[in-house]
C-alpha cells in the first residue's frame, strides 16, 4: 500500500454516527459527574456515616480502583463478545449500584456499592471510546470525535459541582448519586438504535487467569500505598507493595506467552503509545489528590456551602471544556507534544500557587491557582487519548481504549491515594500535639485523624474555646494541601518533559487514517506500519521510522 493511498481521506461519518456519538458521550459525562459530585458530598457523608480517614479515601477511590482493575478485562471482553453489548451491561450495573449507594446506611454498604459502580464504569468507558474509533474512520473526524469525548469528561466535571451543589443543598448526599439512573436508562434505550455493534475477528477466548492476575497486581499495590500514610504501619504495606509488583511481573510474563493475551503488552513497544500513556498518568496523579483536597478546603476551611463551592469550581471547569474542544484544532497546526507541554506548564504554575495558600484567608490564592492549573490539563486529556487509540491496530482498539482509560482512572485514584494520604499524614503530624483538653478520647482521636473529625469534636467544647481546635486543625489541613500541591507541580513538570522528548516527532494532524487503510497487521513492537519506513500516529499523521 502506498503513501498516496494512505493520504486519501477515509469514509466520512454521517448524521447517524454523530447521533451515536452523542449517545456515547452521555455516560462519559455521567461517570465523571458522579466522581466530582462525590468530592463535594464527602463532608456530608463524613458527618452522616462517620467514616475513618482511611474509609473516606476508600469511599472516594474504590470506584476508580475497580475501574482500573477491570478496564483492561472489560475492554478485551468487548473486543471478543461485542463492545456495544458490554456497554449495555455496564450501564445496567452502574444504574443499579447507584441506587444502592444512594440509600446506603453504613460506610461498608456505600463502599461496596461504589465498587459495583466501578465495575459498571469499567465496562462502559472503554466501550464508548473504542466504539468511537469504529464509527469514525476519517482521521480528522475521529480526532474531533475523540476531542469531544475528552471534552465530555470536562463537561461532567463542569456540571458536577453545580448539579451536586444544588442536590446537596436541597436533598441529602445520596440524591447526587441517583443522577446516574435516568442517564443510563437512556443509554440502554438509544445505543441499540444508533451505535453499531463491533467485535474483533478471531479475538479468541477471555483468559480468566489473566483477569485475576491483573487485579492481584493492582489491589495489593494500591493498598500498600494507602496504608503507608499511617505512621504505625510499615511492614504490612511494604509487603503488599512487593506482592503487587510480583503479580504484575507474573501478569506480564503470561501475556507474552498467550496467543490471545488479555493485554498485548507489546503495544507498549510503540513509543507514541507508551509515551502518551506516561504523560497522561503523571498528569492524572497530580490532579487527583489535589482536586480532592481543593474541594474539601472550600467547604471545611473556607466554610462554603456545597452550592457555593460548585459555583466557584464552575468557571474553571468551563475553561477546561473550551480548552479540550480547541486542542484538536490546534493540533492540526502545531505538534501535539508542544501543545500538551504548554498546558502542563500552566498546570505546574497553578500548583505552585496552591503551595502558598494559607488558612483561613487563602481562598483567593486557592481559586487563582485552580483556575490556572485546571484548564492546563485539557490538552493532555484531548490529545494523548487520540495518540493512544490511533497508534494501536483496529482489532485492538478496545484494549487500547481500556489501557488509556486505565491510565486516567488509575492516575486519578493513585493521586487520591498518594497525595491524599500525604495530605492526611501532614495533618496528623500537625495535630499530634494540638488537640485541646476537655474532649473525650473518641473525639480527640477523631480530631487528630481528620479535619471532619475535628469539626465534629468541636461541639464538645465551649463556643469560646472552639478556635483552640479549629484554627490548628485548619492550618494542618492547609499545610497538607501545600505539600500535595508541591508534589503535583513536580509531576506536571515531569509530564511536560516527557511530552517534549518522547512525543516530539509526532506531526500535526492530517486527514490520513491510521486504522482504516492499514488492515490489521501489527509488528512485534506494537506499531502499525502503512508503508516501509513510515508509521501512522494517533493524530493521523505519519512518523518516520527513525522517530521511534
Residue 420 domain-assigned (yes or no): yes
Query: Both 434 and 514 in a single domain?
Result: yes
Q: What is the pLDDT of residues 248-292, one digit of tens each?
A: 999 999 988 888 787 778 878 888 888 888 998 899 889 887 887
Residue 459 domain-assigned (yes or no): yes
Query: Both 162 and 282 in a single domain?
Result: yes
The per-residue pLDDT for 154 is 67
Backbone torsion region of residue 202, taken as left when φ is above 0, otherwise alpha when ψ lies between -120 and 50, otherwise beta: left
The CATH number that applies at residue 290 is 1.20.1250.20
Residue 2 domain-assigned (yes or no): no
Query: Both 225 and 352 in a single domain?
Result: no
Q: For residue 95, is pLDDT > 60?
A: yes
Confidence of residue 53 (pLDDT cuts 50, 70, 90): low
Q: Of 298, 302, 288, 383, whose CA–CA distance to 342 is shortest? A: 383
Distance separating alpha carbons of residues 146 and 330, to the nearest angstrom: 14
Look at residues 257, 289, 318 and tell me which one is the last residue of a structural domain.
257
Query: Both 215 and 330 in a single domain?
Result: no
Query: Both 238 and 302 in a single domain?
Result: no
Q: For residue 34, is pLDDT > 70?
A: yes
Q: For residue 8, is pLDDT > 60?
A: no
Average pLDDT, the chain: 78
SS3 156: helix
Query: Both 361 and 450 in a single domain?
Result: yes
Confidence of residue 392 (pLDDT cuts 50, 70, 90): confident
Q: For residue 548, is pLDDT > 50?
A: no
According to DSSP, residue 301 is labeled: I
Q: For residue 56, is pLDDT > 80?
A: no
Query: Both 193 and 241 in a single domain?
Result: no
Q: How many helices (H) and strands (E) does the chain have?
A: 19, 2
Look at residues 257, 275, 292 and tell me which one is the last residue of a structural domain.
257
Residue 1 domain-assigned (yes or no): no
Q: For residue 188, is pLDDT > 80?
A: yes
Identify the weakest region by mean pLDDT among 1-10, 92-101, 186-195: 1-10
Percent of the chain with pLDDT over 70: 83
The per-residue pLDDT for 509 is 67
Query: Both 242 and 276 in a single domain?
Result: no
Backbone torsion region of residue 42, taken as left when φ is above 0, otherwise alpha when ψ lies between -120 and 50, otherwise beta: alpha
SS3 80: helix
CA angle 382, 538, 123 (to 5 degrees): 65
Look at residues 199, 234, 257 and tell me which one is the last residue of a structural domain.
257
Q: Is 371 exposed, middle or buried (0-12, 13-18, 19+ CB in 10 A)?
A: middle
Query: Both 104 and 240 in a single domain?
Result: no
Q: What's the number of domains the chain is made of? A: 2
Query: Both 136 and 214 in a single domain?
Result: no
Residue 148 domain-assigned (yes or no): yes
Query: Both 352 and 420 in a single domain?
Result: yes
Asked if 515 and 535 count as a contact pair (C-beta separation under 8 A), the reply is no
Confidence of residue 220 (pLDDT cuts 50, 70, 90): confident
Query: Both 483 and 370 in a single domain?
Result: yes
Residue 370 domain-assigned (yes or no): yes
Between 461 and 287, residue with greater pLDDT:
287
Distance separating alpha carbons of residues 467 and 1, to the nearest angstrom: 74
If you average pLDDT over residues 43-53, what whole number do you get?
Answer: 77
> 243: domain range?
208-257
The CA–CA distances, whole Å, from 161 to 41, 112, 155, 228, 457 equal 10, 24, 11, 31, 28
Cβ neighbours of 386 (radius 10 Å): 31
The per-residue pLDDT for 355 is 93
Amino acid at each position: 500500500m502506498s503513501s498516496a493511498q494512505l493520504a486519501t481521506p477515509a469514509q466520512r461519518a454521517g448524521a447517524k454516527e454523530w447521533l451515536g456519538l452523542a449517545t456515547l458521550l452521555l455516560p462519559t459525562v455521567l461517570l465523571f459527574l458522579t466522581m466530582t459530585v462525590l468530592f463535594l458530598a464527602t463532608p456530608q457523608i463524613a458527618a452522616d456515616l462517620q467514616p475513618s480517614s482511611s474509609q473516606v479515601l476508600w469511599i472516594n477511590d474504590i470506584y476508580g480502583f475497580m475501574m482500573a482493575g477491570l478496564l483492561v478485562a472489560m475492554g478485551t471482553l468487548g473486543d471478543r463478545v461485542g463492545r456495544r453489548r458490554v456497554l449495555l451491561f455496564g450501564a445496567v450495573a452502574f444504574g443499579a449500584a447507584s441506587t444502592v449507594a444512594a440509600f446506603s446506611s453504613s460506610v461498608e454498604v456505600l463502599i461496596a456499592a461504589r465498587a459495583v459502580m466501578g465495575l459498571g464504569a469499567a465496562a462502559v468507558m472503554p466501550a464508548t471510546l473504542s466504539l468511537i474509533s469504529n464509527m469514525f474512520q476519517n482521521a480528522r473526524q475521529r480526532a474531533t470525535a475523540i476531542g469531544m469525548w475528552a471534552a465530555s469528561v470536562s463537561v461532567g466535571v463542569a456540571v458536577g459541582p453545580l448539579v451536586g451543589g444544588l442536590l446537596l443543598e436541597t436533598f441529602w448526599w445520596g440524591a447526587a448519586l441517583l443522577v446516574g439512573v435516568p442517564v443510563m436508562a437512556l443509554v440502554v434505550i438509544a445505543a441499540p438504535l444508533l451505535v453499531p455493534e463491533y467485535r474483533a475477528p478471531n479475538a479468541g477466548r477471555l483468559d480468566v487467569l489473566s483477569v485475576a492476575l491483573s487485579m492481584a497486581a493492582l489491589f495489593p499495590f494500591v493498598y500498600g500505598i494507602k496504608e503507608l500514610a499511617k505512621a504505625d504501619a510499615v511492614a504490612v504495606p511494604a509487603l503488599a507493595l512487593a506482592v503487587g509488583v510480583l503479580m504484575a511481573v507474573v501478569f506480564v510474563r503470561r501475556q507474552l506467552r498467550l496467543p490471545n493475551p488479555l493485554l498485548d503488552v507489546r503495544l507498549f513497544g510503540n513509543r507514541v503509545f507508551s509515551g502518551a500513556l506516561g504523560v497522561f498518568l503523571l498528569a492524572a496523579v497530580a490532579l487527583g489528590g489535589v482536586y480532592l483536597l481543593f474541594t474539601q478546603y472550600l467547604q471545611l476551611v473556607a466554610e462554603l456551602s456545597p452550592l457555593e463551592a460548585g459555583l466557584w469550581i464552575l468557571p474553571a471547569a468551563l475553561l477546561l471544556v473550551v480548552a479540550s474542544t480547541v486542542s484538536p484544532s490546534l493540533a492540526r497546526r502545531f505538534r501535539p507534544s508542544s501543545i500538551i507541554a504548554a498546558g502542563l506548564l500552566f498546570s505546574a504554575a497553578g500548583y505552585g500557587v496552591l503551595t502558598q495558600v494559607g488558612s483561613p484567608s487563602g481562598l483567593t490564592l486557592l481559586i487563582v491557582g485552580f483556575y490556572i492549573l485546571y484548564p492546563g490539563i485539557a490538552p493532555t486529556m484531548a490529545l494523548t487519548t487520540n495518540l493512544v487509540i490511533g497508534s494501536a491496530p483496529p482489532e485492538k482498539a478496545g484494549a487500547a481504549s481500556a489501557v488509556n482509560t486505565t491510565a486516567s482512572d488509575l492516575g486519578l485514584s493513585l493521586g487520591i491515594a498518594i497525595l491524599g494520604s500525604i495530605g492526611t499524614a501532614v495533618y496528623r503530624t500537625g495535630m499530634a500535639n494540638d488537640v485541646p483538653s476537655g474532649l473525650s478520647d473518641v473525639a480527640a482521636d477523631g480530631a487528630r485523624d481528620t479535619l471532619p473529625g475535628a469539626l465534629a469534636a468541636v461541639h464538645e467544647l465551649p463556643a469560646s474555646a472552639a478556635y483552640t481546635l479549629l484554627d490548628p486543625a485548619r492550618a494542618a489541613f492547609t499545610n497538607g494541601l501545600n505539600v500535595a500541591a508541591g508534589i503535583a507541580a513536580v509531576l506536571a513538570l515531569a509530564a511536560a518533559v516527557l511530552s517534549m522528548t518522547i512525543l516530539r516527532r509526532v506531526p500535526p494532524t492530517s486527514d490520513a487514517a491510521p486504522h482504516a487503510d492499514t488492515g490489521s497487521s501489527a509488528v512485534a513492537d506494537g506499531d502499525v506500519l502503512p508503508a516501509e519506513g513510515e508509521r501512522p500516529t494517533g493524530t493521523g499523521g505519519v512518523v518516520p521510522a527513525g522517530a521511534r
